[in-house]
Chains A and B, each alone.
Chain A
Amino acid sequence: MDYIYQVRLTTHISSAIGSLTHALLQNARCYSVSHLSVQERIEQKRKAALTGGGQLRIAAQHKRGKLTARERLELLLDPDSFVEYDMFVEHRCSDFGMEADHNKYPGDSVVTGQGRINGRLVYVFSQDFTVFGGSLSGAHAQKICKIMDQAMMVGAPVIGLNDSGGARIQEGVESLAGYADIFLRNVMASGVVPQISLIMGPCAGGAVYSPALTDFTFMVKDTSYLFITGPDVVKSVTNEDVTQEELGGAKTHTTVSGVAHRAFENDIDALLNLRNFFNFLPLSNKDPAPVTECHDPRDRLVPGLDTIVPFESTKAYDMLDIVHGIVDEREFFEIMPNYAKNIVVGFARMNGRTVGIVGNQPKVASGCLDINSSVKGARFVRFCDAFNIPIITFVDVPGFLPGTAQEYGGIIRHGAKLLYAFAEATVPKITVITRKAYGGAYDVMSSKHLRGDVNYAWPSAEVAVMGAKGAVQIIFRGKENQAEAEAEYVEKFANPFPAAVRGFVDDIIQPSTTRKRICRDLEVLASKKQTNPWKKHANIPL
């Protein structure tokens, strides 16, 4: 390394020298005299890299309630574990006075490298808003690409901390090329290593597509924004008055657009939570779901579950109560907790092993499937499948949401995504029908027919084409004695037996034993091997 430093430095000193050979000669000649000064320059450059855009800009960053790129990495990674790359990289722009020495910052506007989170390897980049507003230069992009390439070769996740004003306009097309280089790598890495974006400042324009391509996008409340075009352009094009926060703040993206998966209070909260989240993920698609030391007995009974489903099938209950009761230590990292709340997805552990949880939420819109919940669920299931994370599905679904809004919005193709995701998944799939499993939605929700490995029904389960009332109205249209017919239908179908006698559920279980059963099944299914037919890639109905 030292050798290369000297070459670069020498080139810098005597810019007239054109060839590498010449440089080496030159280097050899002045080695003895300039050695000290080279060391000094190294120190100087390193120091400059560490201070980024300088104390004034750092103070300004702090004043905005944001930490610097390096402070963020220090919090995210284990102490002293960060190994930095490309500290000496500088931008190559020579237009608009950019070539001036005071416009060169060692490392440019991003800090990259690798480090450890709870001892496990991770590749990181952290955009430095104090240097040209964190704008993306060719060099900036190149640095990010370097760590992404290595992350894929090694098989370790990539975490990006985004805080950038956008493209380095002075560089023009080079900046755009840089984005595309990153996008390509995001796509290539997709399904190979987990990719996480934490938006900690602005992220606008084309830049937004990098987070959008990663597996998870988290945001910091009040200080981060994601949008294609800012409020000014919106105003000039559509004449809409909208604030930055309304257009692309954390609340918008976690509740309305579904672009972001979660938001956190501030930088520190976000980074500490990210460390926690990282522990759920395998390092790559070659690694099994991680297993951590678990203090929660695998055979723990959950007596509260025996009473959780109300007798009246129109009454709601909270699916999260079931999830919290069953998983290790009640710890559930929910993904998109405030978007499409009629479906619950997130990570938890069973006897220490990471699992993905999917559950209909009867508390919200009766737990029906609609466009948003289907897409939310589908993407989560596909992530789990890509990264060997077993999927546990809790079913209480009255069907797909009817109405013109849904039909015009394309519920058919969007609903198909969830069906597709469950069907193609080859990871262990365990399904528990807690109450309703009606109609096509029954098929979708990781049913036996979609290669569910273990499918359970609670005694309160009702697997049927539809609710009793609707069914009777169709079967006995115009007939009297509707109530009697309804009672007959209920007795025939509003229970788990029709599914159980056909083997569509493997067993009818006491709810309090659910945790014990799932832990045991996961042990068995850990060695599950299943492959889909060869294909270039599948064609999910996007």
Chain B
Amino acid sequence: HIRVTLCRHVHVKMADEAVCVGPAPTSKSYLNMDAIMNAVKQTGAQAVHPGYGFLSENKEFAKRLAAEGVTFIGPDTHAIQAMGDKIESKLIAKAAKVNTIPGFDGVVKDAEEAVKIAGEIGYPVMIKASAGGGGKGMRISWNDEETREGFRFSSQEAASSFGDDRLLIEKFIDNPRHIEIQVLADKHGNALWLNERECSIQRRNQKVVEEAPSTFLDPDTRRAMGEQAVSLAKAVKYSSAGTVEFLVDSQKNFYFLEMNTRLQVEHPITECITGLDLVHQMIRIAKGYKLQQKQSDIPINGWAIESRVYAEDPYKSFGLPSIGRLSQYQEPLNLPNVRVDSGIQEGSDISIYYDPMISKLVTYGKTREEALKKMEEALDNYVIRGVTHNIPLLREIIVHPRFVSGDISTKFLPEVYPDGFKGHMLTAGERRELLATAAALYVAAQLRSQKFLGDLRVSIVPAESRQWELCVELDKGVHMLGVSRAGNNYTVEIDGEKVEVSGEWNLASALLPITINGKHRNLQCLLRTAAGEITLQYLGTSFKLRVLSKLAAYLSKHMPEKIPEDTSSILRSPMPGSVVAVSVKPGDNVAEGQEICVIEAMKMQNSMTAAKTAKVKSVHCKAGDTVGEGDLLVELE
């Protein structure tokens, strides 16, 4: 099939040579070893860098590469295996004199034995299947009863999900920090620690904001952690880059958590402060070269912050995946000391097949304060349209007093936002700034709509005015504003207070850089309609406003109140056709925009998607059915 082969994805575009390894579902492509082995053979690749995720910690894959004489850019299979097993890794760590969390790992006979073990360790304890990764299936127990219950769940899960009966019961560290040490080891027995990364800001055990170094570690603790990490690496004859994760309690006691035998997502911040290119180092090491640096060569230069920009709705459980097409996309790369690692571009689809991460946004500064300021600016100048994203949450975290002072733990998000994230809470002054900006933008747009160019047969009688009386609605609050203009400068009077707003007022630009009362602000205009609706992104959060003339606002009281009909929970066939596939079943949770079924009409497959994030209530069609227009397909709760 000859088709125009356009390089559609950034990673493909950047590559000198590209091989398609299969369709979007990862099990058929990036997790499909056969396909990747074929690509290796086809291109005659000498080595494979497995990235992160997918096959990066898969010893089978490493073995297959080795059998073909192809270098796996990562540690050898022994280290992958040893560190991949929760229990074995802890045993090795203990032997290497690495602090481990007091606990038991192995087969627990019954609930009573679990209770006994818990008693020895001291409550609270954590119970989970030892083969389960991360925080998956983790249960916290504060007493004997909960321990029995935890044993029951975890042993069931261990048997059913992993086919491995072993359980892990260990001391549960309350309010811990997640701090990890980057190590680099070569094949000649040399190993270095490249300082720490503070990754405590997490939601559902997934990292959101990371920084290097940590505000919490003093040089002694840092060295102690670094040396233990190196000792562990040496104990497993580790080569390549790796990460040793620790939990650190409020007394700076640190405990080994696990070792990731691959490059970490958040590695750029270590690169920023050490000046080392980790991927470059991995390739050197894989080739068999010796490390060129000594421990004393590893600096901490300045401060780096990483925000994980996700296609997620942060207002739902700090982030539920959303999908869609990036109708507009602009990374803030024009700013100095900003690094954006991404694999997408304007027009890309954020699909259900991959992690919903849009990019890693890294800022760097001589000091933490500088890096944080830069992050504010970078987030404000990041243009993402078409998918819901978590910039509102990121923007709030990095300015939160607790975060700014370094007072964080892995419980930061639930503690700071116990009722869930609600977006930026406006102060009275900020509210005025926002109202004034909306009013000025409205007037600027109104004035432009009177500017007709060219020769006009019938002359224009402009309704030019220097004074406007406007009514601006925000969060059900209604404000009467007086606006006056001098060129591009607007003076907006709100409740007796004057706000000066000036800017270029480029109505086509996604970004709206303005000066409010002498302060520079980077807002974004997300929506501006003829009916006066204006949505502005301000301090990371988007706010819906409505600007009306005084007259229109006055007459609004006569407009009938309309209760919007909720059609989001019912999916009907928009056309006659046949059902090709149904991707959900009752009880499934679906994300907004997720495919529910595929209808084929006119030999064209049309993807029907969920209008909201919800649970599937009922499914009224199956593959092969013929449906008419308007037929009920699926109901959501």
Contact = CB atoms under 8 A, between A and B. Distances in A.
B551 interface: yes
A295 B506 CA distance: 6
A366 interface: yes
Interface stretch (A94-102, A137-145, A240-248, A321-329): A321-329
Interface stretch (A263-271, A372-380, A473-481): A263-271
Nearest to A59: B558
Nearest to A273: B530
A292 B448 contact: yes
A173 interface: no
B327 A460 contact: no
B555 interface: yes
B340 to A, nearest CB: 16
B387 to A, nearest CB: 13
A268 B603 contact: no
Interface string B21-64: 00000000000000000000000000000000000000000000
Interface residues of B, number: 55
A79 B508 contact: no
A364 to B, nearest CB: 7
A490 interface: yes
A295 B508 contact: yes
Contact of A290 (B348, B452, B551): B452
B221 interface: no
A223 interface: yes
Contacts of B6: 306-307, 459
B294 interface: no
A268 B449 contact: no
Interface in B445-468: 448-454, 456-458, 460-463, 465
A525 interface: no
Given A268-B555, A304-B326, A495 B457 contact: no
A12 B605 CA distance: 74
Contact of A120 (B452, B465, B506, B601): B452
Interface residues of A, number: 81
Interface stretch (A21-29, A230-238, A308-316): A308-316
A296 B510 CA distance: 11
Contacts of A295: 448, 506-509
B347 A307 contact: yes
B381 to A, nearest CB: 18
A362 B604 contact: yes
B297 to A, nearest CB: 41
B389 to A, nearest CB: 17
B3 interface: yes
A246 to B, nearest CB: 15
A75 B347 CA distance: 39
Interface string A273-317: 101110100011011101111111100001111111001001110
A348 to B, nearest CB: 13
Given A155-B457, A268-B556, A325-B327, A119 B450 contact: yes
A414 B606 CA distance: 27
Contacts of A318: 325
Interface stretch (A65-73, A178-186, A204-212): A65-73
A314 B605 contact: yes
B461 A81 contact: yes
Contacts of B448: 292-293, 295
A322 B430 CA distance: 37
A268 B453 CA distance: 28
A75 B325 CA distance: 37
A366 B2 contact: no
A78 B449 CA distance: 12
Nearest to A283: B458
Contacts of A80: 463
Given A283-B458, A293-B453, 6 more contacts: A65-B559, A154-B458, A265-B531, A287-B456, A293-B451, A315-B604
Q: Which 5 A-B pairs have the closest CB atoms?
A: A304-B347, A276-B530, A65-B560, A366-B602, A296-B508
22 contacts: A67-B555, A74-B551, A120-B452, A120-B460, A266-B559, A268-B531, A272-B530, A273-B531, A283-B458, A287-B457, A295-B448, A295-B506, A304-B347, A306-B6, A316-B604, A316-B605, A330-B327, A352-B453, A398-B602, A398-B604, A459-B6, A460-B4
